[in-house]
Every structure is written in structure tokens, then in C-alpha cells.
Amino acid sequence: MRLAVFADIHANSEALSTCLAYADHVGADGYVFLGDHITDCPYPQRTLRLMRDAAQRKPSWMLRGNREDVLIRHHEHPQEDWKPSSATGSLLYTYENLSAEDIQYLKRMPIASAIDLPGCPPLSIAHATPVSNTALVYPGSEALDAVLRTCPHPAMLSGHSHFQFRYESEGKQFVNPGSVGMPFYGQPMAQFALVSCQGRRWTVRMINVDYDKESQIRQFEESGLIETARIWALATIKTIRSGGRWAIECRQLAARRSPNGEYSERAWEEAARELGIIDQDGQLIP
């Protein structure tokens, strides 16, 4: 039994379709989607379609991530002030490109679950941790050791940090497959993991695969996402091309420059220029 484990796709459908083809080529028997399937890249329904199609072909497990939570909350309490801007335009774009049925599809997903297959040790799965959709855990940290201490199963699959790693503690293993669509660390490739049940243990193979990044980037122009979420979208393109936490770092710097909490576009532009995301003319630095 071999499972392909995907986390943090962030609507990068080009990266996901390459990963799915790779997984099928090496004979994956099922798919695990750990959440943050959408937001950041354009055309979120393309990613959801790939996931629904995958689930028709093979056994699949789907969790919802913190980004799905944000979209569901907005659907239920739409008074939040989302508008075309670098701060909230990307979320607004994604929300406006989903149907009510898509929201219900995401809402039915749990934030954590377990996979119990005949002849294989059970696996815990979570977007971040079993009790939090936003906790960041890294290898060697007390926080991760504590998660493993209370984990009822010998292995856990979890995403959210966009950091691909395998870690052992408390006699249990923790696997973060990295990020399919938005890698923050290492090479700018689509990342996922293959986990294979071999007797009493799951063995792990981390995959980093190149894909048609420029095709994905062209979609930002065609879709209008750049107009709706200018600096956030440009920083996201930079992450696709080079890896790194560009959009998050830009938001942090813009926040420091907006002491009143307004996140002005001017603060975003200045931050993006300082970080080398855009040039003096406001154009993306390739």
C-alpha cells in the first residue's frame, strides 16, 4: 500500500497535476490531501476539480486547512471587509471564484483524522496538529515532541509549515510532505511525499518535482488576480519562481510600516521594493 501525500497546494493546479501524474506513474494506491488546497493562485476550481477527480479514481482522504477555514468563515459572516487590495484581494478573488457547493465541499472536511488500512499501522493525519489548524511545528521543537507524545498512532502526516521533513521522537514518526504549490524552503519545485506500508512500519520517500511554473504564472495575468491583489500576487509569483516566504515577509514589513493597521497600498509597495520583489517602476523583478 502506497499513499501520495499532498499539502498546501494553494491552488497551484499545474504543480498538483504534475504531482498526481508522478504519483500515478509510481503506482500510488491512494491520495491524502492535508489542506490549504486553495487560495493564493488563480482559478481555485481547477484544483478542486483535480481533487474531486482523484477521489473518483482512488481512495482519498481530504482535510481542510486554515485557508479553507477563512473562506468558510467569510461565507458565513460576509461582513468582513475584504476588498481589492494587497491585504485581502487574494482571498476575495478566491472566494468570488467558488460556488456555494464548493464551500460546502470544503466544510465537510475535518481538520484532522486517521487512516486505518488493513495490514498497515494506523496513521494520524492533520493539516497542522490534531487540535489546531494554525500551529507551526518544526523538527526538534518541544511543540512537535508534545504532539507526538499524545499521538495515538505510530506515525502522523501533517502540512501547514511548507517545510518538507521527516522527524522521529517518542518512538513515532512525523512526516511533513512540504508544499505542492508554494514551497517556502529549498528548491522551487512541487513537493509531496510517498508513504509505503511495509509490514509494521511506514517508509517515506520525499519527492521534489519540477513542473511548468511559467504556465502557472501566466494564469495570474489572465485571471485578473494581479489587479485584485497586486503586491500579494506578485510576491506569490516570486515564491513560485524561487521558493521563499515572499508574500508573508512583505505583509509583515508592510504591517510595520502601517502602525494604524491599515496596510496601505503604499506600505505594501515600499515593502515590496525593499525586499526586491518589484523595481522602482513597480514591475515584478523576474
Q: Which of 36, 40, 68, 69 binds Fe ion (CB under 5 A)?
A: 36
Phi/psi for 64 (5° steps) reads: -105, 145
With respect to Fe ion, which residue has the nearer C-beta, 162 or 172? 162
Which DSSP string do the residues of 113-178 spell out, in sequence order?
EEE--TTS--EEEESSBTTBSS----TT-HHHHHHHHH-SSSEEEE-SS--EEEEEETTEEEEEE-
Grid cell in block for residue 125? 493525519
How many residues bind Fe ion (CB under 5 A)? The answer is 4
Nearer to Fe ion among residue 14 and residue 36 (C-beta): 36
Nearer to Fe ion, 1 or 70 (CB): 70
- Distance (Å, rounded) from C-alpha 282 to C-alpha 269? 7
Q: How far is the CB of 128 from Fe ion (least distance, A)?
A: 6
Give the C-alpha separation, 110 to 34, whole Å. 10
Binding mask 111-150 for Fe ion (x = CB under 5 A): ----------------------------------------
H or E, element range at 6: strand 2-6
**d(Cα 194, Cα 217) in Å, to the nearest integer?**
27
CB of 106 to Fe ion, least distance (A): 13
Residues 43-72 that bind Fe ion (CB under 5 A): 65-66
Please report how close the Cβ of residue 137 comes to Fe ion at its closest, in angstroms. Answer: 12
Instruction: Indicate the DSSP class of residue 187.
Output: S
To the nearest whole angstrom, how small is the minimum distance from the Cβ of residue 34 to Fe ion? 9
Stretch that binds Fe ion, among 85-93, 103-111, 152-160, 234-242 (CB under 5 A): 152-160
Beta bridge partners of 112: 126
Closest contact distance (angstroms) between CB of 86 and Fe ion is: 20
160 part of the interface to Fe ion, by CB under 5 A: yes
Q: Which is nearer to Fe ion, 70 or 114 (CB)?
A: 70
Which residues in this chain contact Fe ion in the complex, by CB under 5 A?
36, 65-66, 160
